[in-house]
Structure 1
Amino acid sequence: MWVEGTVNNTYIRRSLHTASWERAQGLAQEIESADDPKAPPPVKEAPTTLQQAVDEYLADAKARELADSTLAKLETIFKKQFLSWAKAEGYTLLREIDLRAIQSFRTTWKDGGLAKKKKQERLTGFFWFCIRAGWITTTPTQNLKRITVHQKPTDYFPREEYARIVDATYRLDDGMERAYDIDKRGQRLRALVGLLRWSGLRIRDAVTLERTRLLPNDDLFLYQAKTGVPVYVPLPHDVAEDLRNVPPGPKPNPRYFFWSGNGDPKSAVADWQRSFRRLFEVANLEKPDGTTKRCFPHMFRDTFAVENLLAGIPIDQVSILLGHKSVKITEKHYAPFVKARQDQLTASVRQAWQAMEPEKPKPTKRTRQAP
């Protein structure tokens, strides 16, 4: 496209370097409104591509020193899923993504309700990052409806079920051939079960636990609180001794109880999760209706929380041991479904009724007068 004419008594004839009629009209209007019509029209920055926006967002997340697990989730969502979907749908520019596009992308998610909810929150955070960067002015997720999550209360292992799980560690490899020593394998798993149950650690933190965290007095250093105060949890002596005497694994490392120290901790956790699947299969726990109870290693952490609540430990203290950012998180996950704790509260209220009942006045003796 070329432009030719007179502006401010100045003759103009030159190429606009575009084949788009809409773009040419816009450039012509800029020339008409310019103080110096001979000057070339201002060069506008190229629109931001989705690839550029995602790369800078992930680079910023890494610069904020987010956890490796969080960075891995962000890379999966935005690089492997979002960009792949955008390429298949023909989207290349950030400004092309609108509400309908986001709704279309959301229909491809195959996750559960809670995972979908978290993914949508991360997607919203990405577009707010783009707004702060000046690439867009509004977020396409602004009118995106929230995902409703019907989360079932997390189950736990009552004492008799926990005893059956421990017993199953002695029968872990009945009728199976293993290259690694069978007795040592069961002993290592038994030590890890005890650690998870009595410390409340997540499986990743337990698998990568360093030996120096266990003190001679059987206290286990959990973490450093935001206030700078270290948080400890005492372990039963037999659990602590099982940890100290845990046999080395196929690739031992004197620094750790259960990890070789090589490779990604995520791979080590995956190996132990396979062992737990076998353990729960041998334990064969059942629900009251006779169906098989679904079991996961994280339920040992839930057991730690529930048993402490049932023992009367205040929920704010349990929250500190679990490392929750707020006691509200602890209440959300545990207080609603611990019926036994509610039964205890009910019994306490009934006992209080007896103490609060006013004393009945004693009848006064009436004297008879002589006639």
Structure 2
Amino acid sequence: MWVEGTTNGTYLRRSMKTASWERATVLARVIEDSDNASKTPERKDEPVTIVKAVTEYLADAKARELADATLYKLETQLRKQFLGWCKAEGYKFLTEFDLRAAQSFRASWTDGGLAKKKKQERLTGFFWFCIRAGWLTANPTDRLGRISVTQAPTDYFTRGEYEKLLDATYLYREGRGETIGGINGTRIRALIMLMRWSGLRIRDAVTLEKTRLINDNLLLYQAKTGTPVYVPLPPQVAEALRTLPDGVKPNPRYFFWSGNGLPKSAVADWQRSFRRVFKLAGLEKPDGSAKRCFPHMLRDTFAVEMLLAGVPIDQVSMLLGHASVKITEKHYSPWVKARQDQLAASVRNAWGFLGGTSPLSPKRGKTKLVLIQA
């Protein structure tokens, strides 16, 4: 009798040196058992470390072409804060991180309510990535309680306050660092006017390319349909951009940016200058207290003035570059009252045309006609 087959990955054909089928069968089983015993047991995959998971998640985020600002936030929260906390608390593998660990990590955050909410959303997204990768079967952040955020509505600049901001730029004297960066009263005045009348965010305004100004129209962005979205600028604003003096390190491509370094650093320089302008303007609330001012309020001013002027909210949403009208409604709900005040005034003005009388006027008696012969 002969045995033929594959053992330990090698083809085998051997004589059993017996004519007995039963004896040959027993010998074949002995060879199989010996082969199985000689094999190295399959090594089970070790649990994935938190460091590896974070590294692959950040690499995937970069491959998805996320915005630089988003990548920076993910890098800061996960690689610096999350990994640092896990190392200090002794967590090495993903499977060790449970709900209690998530609660403890969240308790270490010292940010405001809105920032905490965003952090929790990013952490949840990270663990969903781990589940899709097959490293976890459940998301440890699923049962985390929601963070309640009472967000104070962002204010905007009235027309009088906007004029005070422009006046303050004539009193502006740049500091040493700003002289190096080429920030002066004329340039920051042009930036204020641009943001107020275009609705651009400060980052988009600072990095605005000169080719996007066509006559008095500013190209905001390219819609998904391929249609360009423009916003007309007042002639004095467009002229201020065309005649803008160069900074210390001018770049023919940009209005306000040298093109060197990161846009984030350039924005930080301009934000410091904005704080000085706001201080010079000395804006106050109706109760006499100082009004907190931020560059983003110029974008809010653009949106609110458009709404008060009767521009449909879907068109305002398009000008702001929002993905949905619901986003516009959410962010500018604080100005519903302002729009209501305008509507109320319009209704009062219309009272005189409703039946020819105002509801506040005395009731009229019966009409009596008198015929007069000419």
**C-alpha offsets along residues 291-339 of structure 1, whole Å, 9 cap, x if unaligned?**
1111110000000000111111011110110011111111111133342
**Per the alignment, do residues 361 and 62 of structure 1 end up closer, same or farther by CA in structure 2, a change over 3 Å counting?**
farther
Which among 301, 321, 324 is matched to residue 323 of structure 1? 321
**How much does 1:288 deviate?**
1.1
Percent of aligned positions that are identical? 68
User: What amino acid is aligned across from residue 314 of structure 2 in structure 1?
Assistant: D
Q: What's the counterpart of residue 256 of structure 2?
A: 258
User: What amino acid is aligned across from residue 204 of structure 1 in structure 2?
Assistant: R
Structure 2 counterpart SS, 1:295: coil
Q: What's the counterpart of residue 110 of structure 1?
A: 110
Q: What's the counterpart of residue 224 of structure 1?
A: 222
Contact 1:173 1:182 in 2 (8 A): no
**How much does 1:60 deviate?**
0.5
Structure ID, larger Rg: 2
Q: What's the counterpart of residue 19 of structure 2?
A: none
Structure 1 counterpart SS, 2:218: strand
**Per the alignment, do residues 269 and 183 of structure 1 end up closer, same or farther by CA in structure 2, a change over 3 Å counting?**
closer
**How much does 1:345 deviate?**
2.1
TM-score when scaled to structure 1?
A: 0.83
Q: What's the counterpart of residue 189 of structure 1?
A: 188
Query: Distance between the aligned counterparts of 1:156 and 1:337, measured in 2?
Result: 9
TM-score when scaled to structure 2?
A: 0.82
My pick for the range that moved more, 354-363 or 202-211, is: 354-363
Which among 282, 286, 289 is matched to residue 288 of structure 1? 286
Q: What's the counterpart of residue 206 of structure 1?
A: 205
Q: What's the counterpart of residue 312 of structure 1?
A: 310
Query: Distance between the aligned counterparts of 1:219 and 1:48, measured in 2?
Result: 54
Q: What's the counterpart of residue 32 of structure 1?
A: none
**Per the alignment, do residues 346 and 86 of structure 1 end up closer, same or farther by CA in structure 2, a change over 3 Å counting?**
same
Contact 1:223 1:232 in 2 (8 A): yes
Contact 1:99 1:141 in 2 (8 A): yes
Q: What's the counterpart of residue 341 of structure 1?
A: 339
Q: What's the counterpart of residue 276 of structure 1?
A: 274
**Count of residue pairs brought into register by the alignment:** 329
Task: Give the gaps of 5 or more residues in structure 1.
Answer: 1-8, 10-35, 366-371
Q: What's the counterpart of residue 247 of structure 2?
A: 249
1:85 aligns to 2:92 (yes or no): no
**Per the alignment, do residues 239 and 41 of structure 1 end up closer, same or farther by CA in structure 2, a change over 3 Å counting?**
same
Structure 2 counterpart SS, 1:233: strand
Contact 2:304 2:335 in 1 (8 A): no
Query: Distance between the aligned counterparts of 1:184 and 1:146, measured in 2?
Result: 43
Q: What's the counterpart of residue 302 of structure 1?
A: 300
Query: Distance between the aligned counterparts of 2:103 and 2:315, measured in 1?
Result: 42
Query: Distance between the aligned counterparts of 1:178 and 1:88, measured in 2?
Result: 39
Q: What's the counterpart of residue 101 of structure 1?
A: 101
**Per the alignment, do residues 183 and 67 of structure 1 end up closer, same or farther by CA in structure 2, a change over 3 Å counting?**
closer
1:234 aligns to 2:232 (yes or no): yes
User: What amino acid is aligned across from residue 185 of structure 2 in structure 1?
Assistant: G
**C-alpha offsets along residues 204-232 of structure 1, whole Å, 9 cap, x if unaligned?**
0000001000002x000000112211110
**How much does 1:169 deviate?**
0.3
Structure 1 counterpart SS, 2:146: coil
Contact 1:287 1:293 in 2 (8 A): yes
Query: Distance between the aligned counterparts of 2:127 and 2:49, measured in 1?
Result: 13
Query: Distance between the aligned counterparts of 1:301 and 1:39, measured in 2?
Result: 69
Task: Give the gaps of 5 or more residues in structure 2.
Answer: 1-25, 27-35, 358-363, 370-374
Contact 1:50 1:94 in 2 (8 A): yes
**C-alpha offsets along residues 239-275 of structure 1, whole Å, 9 cap, x if unaligned?**
0000000000010011110000111011100110111
Contact 1:219 1:235 in 2 (8 A): yes
**Per the alignment, do residues 343 and 244 of structure 1 end up closer, same or farther by CA in structure 2, a change over 3 Å counting?**
same
**Per the alignment, do residues 341 and 179 of structure 1 end up closer, same or farther by CA in structure 2, a change over 3 Å counting?**
closer
Q: What's the counterpart of residue 69 of structure 2?
A: 69
1:124 aligns to 2:94 (yes or no): no
- Mapping 1:142-157, distance limit 5 Å: 142-157=142-157
